[in-house]
Amino acid sequence: MSPNSAGLAKKMGYTNVHVMLEGVPGWKKAGKSVVASEKLVQTGNIVLLDLRSKAEYEAGHIPKAHNIPMAALAEKEDSLPIKAPIVVYANSFVEAQQGYNLIKKWGAKTGSIWPGGVNSWTATGKKLATGPTPASITWVRELEKGEVGVAEFKKAMEGGGNQVILDVRTKDEVQTGAFKNSISIPLDQIEKRLGELPKGKEMLIHCSTGARAEMAKNALDKAGMKSRILRADVECEQGKCEIKD
Amino acid sequence: MQNKQLRNWIPFLLLTGLLVGGPTLSGSPALAADPAPQAAQSANIFVGKVTGKSNKAKTISIEVKGKNEFVKFDDKTTGLEHADEGEAAVIQFEMRGDDKFATTIKPKLASLPEGVKEMKAGELAKFVALGPDEGKYVLIDSRPAAAYHEGHIPTAISIPDSVMKETGAAYLPGDAKLKDLQLIFYCGGYT
């Protein structure tokens, strides 16, 4: 992508054009942080963390922010929804970076810093909120394109509708339990066995996390078959399966 | 870096040479625009972006020229660490019955358009610390806008590659005197 754009710039007459091939992954590997855009902080489905002291937070914070003072952050691992994009801010970039690094260590895949904290927020005329922090942090993931929600998936188990569940786990995994109204085709056989799927139905694909389901969806897409995936943990034991969102 | 890149290239060039009769052996690696010519694709090589890897199903999915392909792997497959989702990879495979089995996986090195130079993270960090005015640069994030919003390198502006193709000129400094201004592009890795 970026080499293409650089080539275009070169054609436009720019003479001093570089590409950082390592991109964002390389930047992060070098121990550097990425920053959030104003739009994300304003309207994104994120968890915004204010790492300043309680007094500073209550006197004025960015709307929707939760307060966990930096000194207390280390004990708060369990109260953070680690799957959420977490954006942090503090009084300084360095302090925000410390918080960000800690959260990243806990396994957060998406996270960034709002540089400049409350000052860069009010600098463009936006207002701060005041008062105590909400009692708990809640975050609900929004379904991405091509995903099916847990409620709709459960309904499809009852059958009768226009949807069929496609289980792409291995044979061994299926032995521990499977959903009603489901067809089992392990991922590594999916391409050869597409003909076994009922025609004209929407396939709701699941595995044990969503990763293999996504790969299977690629094969169904390629064959022009309608499908969505369940991106949730599926755990089966003694014939019973549970979905953990 | 140049040497390292060259070293990484040599086995691959030799391999392509053996398989398809050496189409690019004489070319400089940086100028080889497409490291997998059409002929190599049919010679059991997939070049593209890895779209998934399942250790349970021992299967990799890779997007090759807009199409999804599955390749199995086993204990003998080398270079599995290069088959991470989102990475550009070169997968050599063999047919076992109807199944494709990966034998060797290598990272695909991006090639740069002529006259464009590479910049490493460490050097970029020095410019970012100075800021665009003092460092005299424009840093451009070529990824889709959503990725930019979620988290970008400090001081970057967003011009997705697709936008650059259409109306990129509108976002760059248009003054002819500024044509020697340093432009630095990046995206989501070696793709």
CB A24 within 8 A of CB B153: yes
Q: CATH 3.40.250.10 region(s) of chain A?
A: 33-142, 150-244
Is the CB of A9 less than 8 angstroms away from the CB of B168? Answer: yes
What digits encode the pLDDT tens for the residues A187-213? 989 989 999 999 889 999 999 988 899
Range of the domain at B24: 2-107
Q: Identify whether B115 is part of a domain.
A: no
Provide, as residue numbers in chain A, all residues whose Cβ is less than 8 Å from the Cβ of B143: 1, 24
Which residues face B90 on adjacent strands? B47, B106
Instruction: Tell me the CATH number of domain A150-244, given options 3.30.365.10, 3.40.50.2300, 3.90.1010.10, 3.40.250.10.
Output: 3.40.250.10
pLDDT in tens, chain B (191 residues): 444 444 444 444 444 434 443 333 333 444 444 444 444 445 799 998 888 898 888 999 998 887 888 999 999 999 998 888 878 899 999 999 888 999 999 888 777 888 899 999 999 999 999 999 999 999 999 999 989 999 999 999 999 988 888 876 777 876 767 788 899 999 887 65
Which residues does A226 contact at the CB level (< 8 Å), separation at least 6? A201, A202, A203, A220
Instruction: Examine the fold and report which residue of B72, B107, B142 is the final residue of a domain before the chain moves on.
Output: B107
Provide, as residue numbers in chain B, all residues whose Cβ is less than 8 Å from the Cβ of A214: 51-52
Is the CB of A36 less than 8 angstroms away from the CB of B56? Answer: no
Q: How far apart are alpha carbons A187 and B54 in whole angstroms?
A: 9
- The type of residue at A215 is M
Provide, as residue numbers in chain B, all residues whose Cβ is less than 8 Å from the Cβ of A186: 57
Residues within 8 A of A (CB atoms), B 89-148 only: 98-99, 110-122, 124-125, 140, 142-143, 147-148
The radius of gyration computed from the CA coordinates of chain B, to the nearest angstrom, equals: 19
Q: How far is A8 from chain B (nearest CA, A)?
A: 7
DSSP letter at A184 equals E
Nearest CA in chain A to B122: A30
Instruction: Tell me the CATH number of domain A33-142, given options 3.40.309.10, 3.40.50.920, 3.30.9.10, 3.40.250.10.
Output: 3.40.250.10
Tell which phi-psi region holds residue A52, choosing left (phi > 0), alpha (psi between -120 and 50) or beta: beta
Q: How far apart are alpha carbons A92 and A171 in whole angstroms?
A: 53
Is the CB of A14 less than 8 angstroms away from the CB of B110? Answer: no
Q: Are residues B11 and B86 in the same domain?
A: yes
Q: Are residues B102 and B156 in the same domain?
A: no
Angle of CA points A169, A147, A184, to nearest 5°: 25
Q: How far is B99 from chain A (nearest CA, A)?
A: 9
Read off the tokens for B18: 């053996």
A66 CB neighbour count, 10 Å cutoff: 20
Q: For chain B, how many structural domains are there in total?
A: 2
CB B181 within 8 A of CB A15: no
Instruction: Examine the fold and report which residue of B37, B72, B107 is the final residue of a domain before the chain moves on.
Output: B107
Residue A211, phi then psi, degrees to nearest 5: -65, -50
ipTM of the complex as predicted: 0.74
Is the CB of A14 less than 8 angstroms away from the CB of B179? Answer: yes
